[in-house]
Amino acid sequence: MQAQAPDTLETAPTAERTSWTRNNPYPATVLDNHLLTGPGSEKETRHIELDLAGSGIEYLPGDSAGVLPINTCAAVDLVIERLQLTGDEPVNDFYGKATTVREALTSWLMIGKLSSSTLRGWAKHTGNPELSALAEPGNKEKLDAYLWGREFIDILEHCPARLDDPQQLFKLLPRLAPRLYSISSSQALHPRLIDLSVRVVKFESHGHKRVGVCSHYIGERVPAGGTLPIFIHSNQLFRLPASPDVPVIMVGPGTGVAPFRAYLQHKQAGCGRWPMWLFFGDQRASQDFLYREDFERWQSNGTLQRLDLAFSRDQSFKIYVQDRIRENSAELWRWLDQGAYFYVCGDSKRMAPDVETALLQAVATHSGRGPEYATEFLAEMKKQKRYLRDVY
């Protein structure tokens, strides 16, 4: 059963409010961790609700939460075994503080993804000719192909060697970095809560099943009642318009919809009157319509003026959010011509460029002034900070 928290900030503990940062994260209690996707989905996307009561943490729609992950015990055990260590060897962390190899590999060092610097360091340590060849400056394409989908354990199995000085791990391995997740709630509506929408990454490579280090940690290793170490990453470049009446167009397929749920909650809380139009897409409506009840309720009560959906696998041909933009390009131009802000959140490799192409086509066609004007119009939108992207 989901723990319930009142929507008012507790004031008693605030005398000890601290500046929570990457190096001093807040241990937020998990109130809820449940699946957003259906049992037949090809994805695992989870809703995470965290309690901020007494933390003094403040955030705005558009901000992200940084989460500090830890590596799995199984992965750490394998690395320790391959390095012919016990795990109890003393080492100093990046700040000179005493710790052990096991703790370093658990909380400090990146072992879930093989980096080029690690490969070069291991090639130098072992003298292995194959690794040394990959590390040559002219072999970037082959190096990238080798690195893809591999973890530190893979190179240890490929080229085993003893590590006599465990402190060298801090030169060999990059620091385990926090991951940023767009916040999917508004503090104006829920003062002591913060919501995240996390897709748990799972795939197979080189004959092994793999998981995303942080998404797996959040989604499957920290149940309700546990704690997540978090801090706020402010994103001044993804804010709602200062004017409360400016139209807002939002494009957020998959978990890219997270900040737009926050925008809509912010409007629901009475923070603005922005006319809002959302383009959302995923694979199947029956399995992957994230926060369906929220968006349909907002559409029915007038908080959300338009909702255009693109579920790619629900018909014989694939439909994406950029296709819905093209279908509604005349109305889109009308909103843009009235000063609408245009927001995009999600995949940077294919979705965001395809959306921009559709946007340019809409402006070129319905302004009646062609592609050159569309390019100038979009450049002016960027200059005015009306075309905003949070892509990854």
What's the mean per-residue pLDDT of the chain?
Answer: 94
d(CA 127, CA 123): 5
Q: Supply φ then ψ for residue 197, to 5 degrees.
A: -125, 110
Statement: residue 14 has pLDDT above 70 = no
Residue pair 336/326 in contact by the 8 Å Cβ criterion? no
Spatial CB neighbours of 136, under 8 Å, sequence gap ≥ 6: none
Query: What is the arithmetic mean of pLDDT over 48-75?
Result: 97
d(CA 186, CA 261): 8
Statement: residue 392 has pLDDT above 90 = yes
The pLDDT value recorded for residue 189 is 98
335, β-bridge pairs:
none
Read off the pLDDT band of 11 (50, 70, 90).
very low
Collapse the DSSP code of 84 into the 3-class scheme (helix H, G, I; strand E, B; otherwise coil) and give the result.
Answer: coil
Tell me the pLDDT tens digit for each residue of 348-377.
999 999 999 999 999 999 999 999 999 999
Statement: residue 191 has pLDDT above 80 = yes
Collapse the DSSP code of 304 into the 3-class scheme (helix H, G, I; strand E, B; otherwise coil) and give the result.
Answer: coil
Tell me the pLDDT tens digit for each residue of 134-150.
999 999 999 999 999 99
Domains observed in the chain: 20-68+181-233 (2.40.30.10), 73-172 (1.20.990.10), 236-391 (3.40.50.80)
48, β-bridge pairs:
33, 196
Statement: residue 248 has pLDDT above 70 = yes
d(CA 20, CA 11): 17
Q: Which two tokens stand for residue 71?
A: 């590596």
Read off the pLDDT band of 19 (50, 70, 90).
confident
Query: What is the arithmetic mean of pLDDT over 15-23?
Result: 72
The pLDDT value recorded for residue 118 is 98
Read off the pLDDT band of 18 (50, 70, 90).
low
Statement: residue 17 has pLDDT above 70 = no
Helical residues (DSSP H) of 197-291, grouped into ranges: 213-220, 258-268, 285-288
Q: Which of 203, 204, 182 is nearest to 194 (CA)?
A: 182
Tell me the pLDDT tens digit for each residue of 260-310.
999 999 999 999 999 999 999 999 999 999 999 999 999 999 999 999 999
d(CA 306, CA 43): 26
The pLDDT value recorded for residue 1 is 35
Angle at 23 between CA 21 and CA 29, to 5 degrees: 65
Statement: residue 2 has pLDDT above 80 = no
Query: What is the arithmetic mean of pLDDT over 48-60?
Result: 97
Statement: residue 15 has pLDDT above 60 = no
Query: What is the arithmetic mean of pLDDT over 188-193?
Result: 98
Q: Which of 221, 102, 120 is nearest to 172 (CA)?
A: 120
Q: Which two tokens stand for residue 327?
A: 């279908």
Residue pair 108/176 in contact by the 8 Å Cβ criterion? yes
180, β-bridge pairs:
66
